[in-house]
Structure 1
Amino acid sequence: MGLFYSLRGFFRSPGAPPRDAGIQSGQPGGYSSESAAEVTFDSAMQISPVWAAVKLISETIGSMPFNIYEVGPEGRKIATAHPLHRVLTRKPNQYQTDVEFWESMALNLAISGNAYAIIQRLGNEIVGLLPVSSSQVETTLLNDGTVVHAYTTGANVKVYGPQSMWHVKLFGNGIVGLSPLSYARNSIGIAIAADNRVSRVYSNGAKPSGVLTIDKTLTEAQRAQVRASFAGLEAGNDDRLFVLEAGMQYQQISMTPQDIQLLDSRRFQIEDIGRFFGVPSILLNQTFGQSSLGSNVYEILAAFYKLNLRPYLEKFEASVPRWLMEADEAGRYECEFDFDAALLRADLQTRMQANREAINSGQLTPNEARIDEGRPALPGGDKLLIQGAMIPIENAGLKPVQEVPSGTQESEPR
């Protein structure tokens, strides 16, 4: 497969990923150089910036409330009666909660650029969505334009059409998304090689290799004895004092971690890998230097949402009506992750000030503000108010009624 894509890429003109009939791939057609280390899902996830970036994207999406809204003449309301609402917000399948379901989908999307879920139906109604590993799915474009997905489990292969397999993808050729893990292979490979080097250095007591020189010719037996006696100079964690005699000299020949700037290289890999996954290095616990997104945590989260996380959310939000709903109902429903409530929630003082302004300007009722803060509604708090006398908005402009004291009689006008 790799050789085929390399040859195809050689004879093709540069451009976007091709969309020919046949098996679709989100991997590069070829690599400009060999990777410093083998990169697989398991080896990549052992690199801390990869783990942190994928975990941040997956768990953040999984933690956000998701709702399906029905749009009508009076606005929109949560469509609790729609069968998909139960599946996507409470019980997606027999194995997962809704949080775990969205985490699984986001994990596959962030790693491979494609997320798949088997659609479980009872009649024409969707009753479950079961995520599967994208590494077990092979997407094929048939000559008639149909897209099918072959799911491999052990020796069994099942083929699903679009009505039976939900497919969410990142940018690519329109059939499959490009794989961030595959395109970041060289950067991740360098990080893996650096980690391996650090492990070898510290398992060896951080001792560099070298040459032991002696000013006379030794026999085979003497050479073996010298190797055995002074092997600890370059190997092992033995820190005892060695005594060199008879003109022996030890010369270091390997580079130290300082010589190859190992620490700086590992620090740069955090930033480089973060770019592939769209995660600012400051959110990967990279504390070296200054954040270019702003020193305020709220500003950093807002920038991460707008520039990096929002495209992931849009993929899911647009895909649900397109692939999981009938054509006649897709226009009546909207899907949305509530990011503002989940991540961009301001501090208490800022929220109180915003609620006060919204209530005084007639944009929120007191009960709506209370519910947003997790407090119960109160009697009389469902009316919109305006600033001033704080009267119901429908009474604004009416002349107030003056009460007449009992026992008196108003004089007739002259």
Structure 2
Amino acid sequence: MNDLRIPFLSNWVQRQAAEAVLEERSSTLANPDSWLVDWLTDGEPASSGILVNENTALHSTAVFACVRILAETIASLPLQLYQQRKQGGKEVAYSHPLHSILHDSPNEEMTAFVFIETLMGHLATWGNAYAEIEWDGAGRVIGLWPLRPDQTWVNRDANGAIWYHTIIQRTGDAVVLPAYRVLHIPGLGFDGLKGYSPISKQREAIGLTLATEKYGATYFGNGARPGGVIESTRKIGDQAAIDRLRNQWHDMHSGLQKQHRIAILEEGMQYKQIGLPPEDSQFLETRKFQLGEIARIFRVPPHMIGDLERSTNNNIEHQSIEFVMHTIRPWVVRWEQAIKLKLLTRPERKKYQALFNVNGLMRGDYKSRQEGLNIMRQNGIINANTWLEMEDMNPIDGPEGEAYLVNGNMTPVNATGKGGEQSGQAERNPINPDPGKQAGSP
């Protein structure tokens, strides 16, 4: 008997079978593994009858917009590796090999932006992001390669060790990787091992969104005409004649390209339109409501996905700041802590840490930003060059740009009543004791 292979099933099933062999487990139709169930069913339909999974959900404009906003926003933030200074504070660790991997390019095929955007897109849809860690012989990270979340499974063996069963996209090989070989960033989950898929957990809300979009497309595909009836004062004939008349009418007048055709009815026949327009059936209201529902799932301000109904110039700015604080910040912390745990050795974790710079998202309007910087400048918190750097401007050459200034009228609390005010002399500036080097703000 010849070996029977189904071309479109062959590659995927063979890889899954190989992966199952590596796990020393079997999967049958009587006792299927989760990967086989997901592959055969392609997810579950919602109550609306629409198939909802991580791929079909992106057909919704609202879901796609939310995922894109999260992925592009996180990817656009500068990610750098910092090291602690002996005198306090931190500085960018340019000399550490991991810095260029995080900031510039994680591998020879991708930029840092594309890599972070890809993994953040996985996080926003599947609830998990995976990347293979490439190590050299000296125990240093030399590359990061994204892994498909729909082709990666994580579990814990009898000894408590964590393993990742995945397919390497570059080679198509099914492999089992130990935990130290995988950068795993999980979303919200209750077992501490794997995050939940927002799409799977909110299947009904997303299914309703897709259903309303499909309904609208079908409605306009029918020429934006609801159903109708043809009445006749005489008997039309048998059922075959009725079906023939119905089909002829549908073929002549259904579809956008067949609008406004002239209909000729036989004697005694009259066409009556039935059904309600979308506004009366709250079709448009349902679509508007679903925009808010999807935005709520991903914690994205509605105005960012085009819903400006309740937005004003004032509250948009506050919503944008809240977006950074309550949406972007938690995701950033997940990234930073996963990088520290999986890409740095235990001794390095005491000295190094990866941080996203979110200051650019918190800038606000120009006038308010300059007023805030001026307050820090006058209180000796920043110098002129730090101010200029925050505004993406070139520094001032010479020591003047590095000088720190404080308001000359400020006096330490413990000096009050001890000659500070009676002498009429300003307190000596402890940061810049030479008053001759004080310069104005930039």
Asked if TM exceeds 0.5, the reply is yes
Tell me which amino acid in the other structure corresponds to 2:260: D
Provide TM-score, normalisation by structure 2: 0.76
- 1:38-57 matched pairs, under 5 angstroms: 38-57=51-70
Which residue in 2 is equivalent to 1:363? 381
Match of 2:100 among 86, 97, 113: 86
| CA distance in structure 1 between the partners assigned to 2:307 and 2:112 by the alignment | 31
1:158 aligns with 2:161: no
Q: Is the 8 A contact 2:133 2:143 kept in 1?
A: yes
Could you say which structure has the higher helix fraction?
2
| CA distance in structure 2 between the partners assigned to 1:113 and 1:214 by the alignment | 59
* Cα separation, partners in 2 of 1:32 and 1:104, compared to 1, 3 Å: closer
- 1:217-256 matched pairs, under 5 angstroms: 217-219=235-237, 223=242, 226-227=245-246, 230-231=249-250, 235-236=254-255, 237-256=258-277
| CA deviation after TM superposition for structure 1 residue 295, in Å | 2.7
Match of 2:353 among 334, 345, 357: 334
Which residue in 2 is equivalent to 1:209? 227
SS at match of 1:260: coil
| CA deviation after TM superposition for structure 1 residue 138, in Å | 1.1
Q: Is the 8 A contact 1:36 1:190 kept in 2?
A: no
Tell me which amino acid in the other structure corresponds to 2:306: N
- 1:63-82 matched pairs, under 5 angstroms: 63-74=76-87, 75-82=89-96
| CA distance in structure 2 between the partners assigned to 1:254 and 1:174 by the alignment | 51
- 1:15-414 matched pairs, under 5 angstroms: 34-74=47-87, 75-123=89-137, 124-152=139-167, 156-172=173-189, 173-219=191-237, 223=242, 226-227=245-246, 230-231=249-250, 235-236=254-255, 237-290=258-311, 295-340=314-359, 342-378=360-396, 379-380=398-399, 381-388=401-408, 393=430, 396=433
Q: Which deviations, in whole Å up to 9, do the C-alpha atoms of 1:235-279 show, x marking residues without a partner?
A: 232313434453323344555423432111111111111111111
Q: Is the 8 A contact 1:57 1:107 kept in 2?
A: yes
Structure 1: segments with no counterpart, 5+ residues: 1-21, 400-414
- 1:6-17 matched pairs, under 5 angstroms: none
| CA distance in structure 2 between the partners assigned to 1:111 and 1:86 by the alignment | 28
Q: Which deviations, in whole Å up to 9, do the C-alpha atoms of 1:381-403 show, x marking residues without a partner?
A: 2121222399964564999xxxx
* Cα separation, partners in 2 of 1:60 and 1:395, compared to 1, 3 Å: closer
Q: Is the 8 A contact 2:75 2:114 kept in 1?
A: yes
Structure 2: segments with no counterpart, 5+ residues: 1-32, 409-425, 437-442
Q: Is the 8 A contact 1:317 1:337 kept in 2?
A: yes
Tell me which amino acid in the other structure corresponds to 2:361: L
| CA distance in structure 2 between the partners assigned to 1:371 and 1:391 by the alignment | 28
Deviates more, 1:246-255 or 1:81-90: 246-255
* Cα separation, partners in 2 of 1:276 and 1:225, compared to 1, 3 Å: closer
| CA deviation after TM superposition for structure 1 residue 323, in Å | 1.3
Aligned-residue RMSD, C-alpha: 2.9
| CA distance in structure 2 between the partners assigned to 1:392 and 1:265 by the alignment | 64
Tell me which amino acid in the other structure corresponds to 2:53: T
Tell me which amino acid in the other structure corresponds to 2:125: I
Tell me which amino acid in the other structure corresponds to 2:298: F
| CA distance in structure 2 between the partners assigned to 1:31 and 1:194 by the alignment | 18
How many equivalent pairs are there? 371
* Cα separation, partners in 2 of 1:396 and 1:259, compared to 1, 3 Å: same
> Could you list the runs of 4 or more consecutive aligned residues of structure 1 that deviate by over 6 angstroms after TM superposition?
30-33, 389-392
Which residue in 2 is equivalent to 1:404? none
Tell me which amino acid in the other structure corresponds to 1:136: Q
* Cα separation, partners in 2 of 1:368 and 1:223, compared to 1, 3 Å: closer
SS at match of 2:334: helix
| CA distance in structure 2 between the partners assigned to 1:251 and 1:97 by the alignment | 61
* Cα separation, partners in 2 of 1:231 and 1:396, compared to 1, 3 Å: closer
| CA distance in structure 1 between the partners assigned to 2:168 and 2:227 by the alignment | 47
| CA deviation after TM superposition for structure 1 residue 200, in Å | 1.3
* Cα separation, partners in 2 of 1:104 and 1:229, compared to 1, 3 Å: closer
| CA distance in structure 2 between the partners assigned to 1:367 and 1:166 by the alignment | 37
Provide TM-score, normalisation by structure 1: 0.81
Q: Is the 8 A contact 2:279 2:285 kept in 1?
A: no
| CA deviation after TM superposition for structure 1 residue 186, in Å | 1.1
Q: Percent identity?
A: 27
| CA distance in structure 2 between the partners assigned to 1:164 and 1:149 by the alignment | 9
| CA deviation after TM superposition for structure 1 residue 344, in Å | 1.4
- Which structure ranks higher in relative contact order (CA pairs < 8 Å, sequence separation ≥ 6)? 1
| CA distance in structure 1 between the partners assigned to 2:259 and 2:394 by the alignment | 68
SS at match of 2:314: coil
